[in-house]
Chain A
Amino acid sequence: MAGSPVVERLDEDTFPKILLRNARVFADRPSMREKDLGIWQTWTWSQVLEEIRSFSIGLQDAGFKPGDRIAIIGANRPRLYWSMVAAQSLGGVPVPLYSDSVAEEMAYVLEHAEVRFACVEDQEQVDKLLSMSELLPKLEHIVYDDPRGLRDYDHTRLHSFEQLQVNGRAALAADGAREKAWLDGIATTKGADLAVMLYTSGTTGRPKGVMLSFDNLVISARNGNAFDKLNETEETIAYLPMAWIGDHVFSLAQAYLAGYCVNCPENMETVLSDRREIAPTYFFAPPRVFEGLLTLIMVRMEDAGRLKKKMFDSFMALARRVGEPILNGEKVSLVDRLLYQLGEFMVYGPLKNQMGFTRLRVGYTAGEAIGPEIFRFYRSLGLNLKQLYGQTEASVYITMQPDGEIFGDTVGMPAPDVEIRIAENGEVLYRSPGVFVGYYKNDEATRTTKTEDGWVLTGDAGFIADNGHLKIIDRAKDVGKLTDGSLFAPKYIENKLKFYPNVKEVVAFGDGRDFCAVFVNIDLTSVGSWAERNNVNYASYQELAAHPQVYEMICSHVDEVNRDLANEPMMAGAQIKRFLVLHKELDADDGELTRTQKVRRSFIADRYAPLIEALYDGSTSKHVRTEVTFEDGRKGAIEATVEIRDMQTYPAAGSGLREAAE
């Protein structure tokens, strides 16, 4: 890592130092905005410096010492972001947590990370922490942002953010040397220091604390900024969990490096309208956000008048034809260009306006594969949406799509300073300045993930496609084989199906079995709206899922996927022979999904074992009873008879020809 040429170019190598620089260079430019009390409250870089400094001093006086860890729990609030840098400027390490995790999950991480301080959003989080105080002897102080409802709490260990700032300001005013001491402290921070610990939610086992140094983050962020030419004029919106590396890099690391403005929405209900108000120039979202938006667009357009719908459809057809070429700077006839301009006025512009993408310069999607149709849709509108492939352990960036080289089914070229290698078993390995320091208190895991010479195993299987871009097919450990030896990549099959708006979630089975079979979860918004238009009555998700017409719809989707798979020599063997539509929505509260909405395959296999059995024993229906957790925390059970359908499979493209010839 030390050999990377980028390191020498570094002037400010830690976020506190960069903060000082920004307060100088970008003094009056906005650093953060928060929609609060109805308007966008704005803080400039110099104001942010003051906020962080006073809090930092207050924190210090409350007993925070170098090396201490401070948990950050809550939604994207400016003060929580500030508290991270405030802790870093004292030599401490912030540990952001997923705020929606239940108390026990949280307790594990807090205990494991040995946090002494916690900076939390509100009463809810305070209560959560206090309820676990017996499990957390090391947790000494809790700082809260929103005082609502906390007035009568015992304030011996509890502090309001505001109060610590007041204390800090008083201390600074009383003792002129404090500020200098604080600045001196910042000067001693260095790139190799631990910057942050992020706990990966992990599909299996306990969360692991990924330790990232300032160098990791600063260099990655700087490379990312350079790659997309981001500067201080960007606007982004911070709405993804703060504990997630993506948010940490986009809303903190890159924002500090480039000096751009991060906007915090008012609350989770208003994210959509808040994004629209801000109109970010740089935006990041996992595929499901883009999927959701597209579904919303299509559902609304279904209700539009015939003429408008027709106009919309024809302009969208035009966009599909020439939108991407125009975006990529290819040659397009003048007539088409003019028509596209008209479309921009009539449809594309208004759509972008509705989604808040009017000013978007660069948009990224990552985390999972995005449906090629969805991806193309956004690009054809003229939005520079790109994919990247990354990991917490890499400080995000592994591969990125350079402008003009965007392909829907691959995730791009290695990011700046990143090397990539494919292992013999197909697993993707990388090495970069962003590679993490190690897992906290888990050397064994560190050893199995990171080789002596700095290569990191991603756990994903993939290959370099003909165009030199990386293509990911599945988790390396999930890729298996059917009994006939054909390759079975469940995620690959699942994603193909999930790209239909009517399908929300898919779980594929097949490893070590005779054929591939899937569970399907329908998308209630999309199918519900379809049902409304077609006068299909239903009382519940369960009823809709079991509806014969819904089955027909899913049937046709599966059939299309099978035809598609047949065209891919590597995948043709694993076409879907049987499927069923699950009688309940997979839910994180029931443990079926992770908190980041990823399918917990083995858990589901266990929970629905009878259904899987039915998939493979040839029966056409199966009665099951499933325990569920309701929103208010009560438990209950639902029962259903689930229908199973057989599907036609198609001969692989090559062999099909041969058969026809015979």
Chain B
Amino acid sequence: MDMLYNILIDPFVQMVDAPDFLIQVVWEGFVAGVLYALIALGFVLIYKASGVFNFAQGIMVVFAGLSLVGLHEKGVPAWLALILAIGIMAILAVCIEKFVMRPLVGQPDIILLMATIGMTYFLIGLGEVIFGGEPKQMITSELGLPTGSTAFEMGERGLVILQHIDIAAAVIALLMVGGLAVFFNRTRIGRALRAVADDHTAALSVGISLNQIWAIVWFAAGIVALATGIMWGARSDVSFALEIVALKALPVLILGGFTSIPGAIIGGLIIGIGEKIGEIYWGSLVGGGIESWLAYVIALIFLLFRPQGLFGEKIIERI
């Protein structure tokens, strides 16, 4: 009975007892969710345009952050380092398109997936060779990002502390999504991208080559990765451990669907908040650390009931 009580009743009692703590947890989850969503956004961009399931998005985040920090360590001013990091992501995008995507065009999904895992290996090695393997401190203040925190009092019941960098992250994420929405809907290239997502031959009629489109998409994903890297790095460190965390984008995508930008955001938030609450209120029952798998299990359970995802339509199988 104790067991059941601990699982079914006690966590909720705790939530009600300490609403400030609950809000703090939800906020933490929200911020983590924003970062998941940003990574997922990178996935979605590429998946939409080329059908490639980009496992390397995580390492791209790490690589982008490392480039920025690494360049600054070498004495480059922060603003220049930022521009150079963007440049590096552009070069990376072109290289990926030229040496990986183009030769593999038309291959089955699993092969493309494998190629991005190969890219992951390559970039990990490259990053370590250039910047070394140790975690690095993000140059938050040098980039003009806010530090410090604000505490909100919750009447008598306690207080909630919001880190400014987290708020900045949420704002930047919002701007990024808005920017992408404008990019997709208002620009010629953006429309071409959507055309590609629907039909590869249709894109040709827009007058943009597929190769260009892919390079642009990978570049866009690179910029998203850079932003993610900065934010995440500011919260913890810039390290290769991020690469594993980035896999969380997968359950996010399962929830949100592989091609939906709003889906990525909503999925990210559900996962982020869900796993934080789960960890804090239930994790201790089994020794903690359930954050490492809870997201996947949430996705798994979700899949069993809605195999087509949150926004997908029911598939009628045909023969």
Touch A–B, Cβ below 8 Å: no
**Chain B interface (Cβ < 8 Å from any Cβ of A):** none
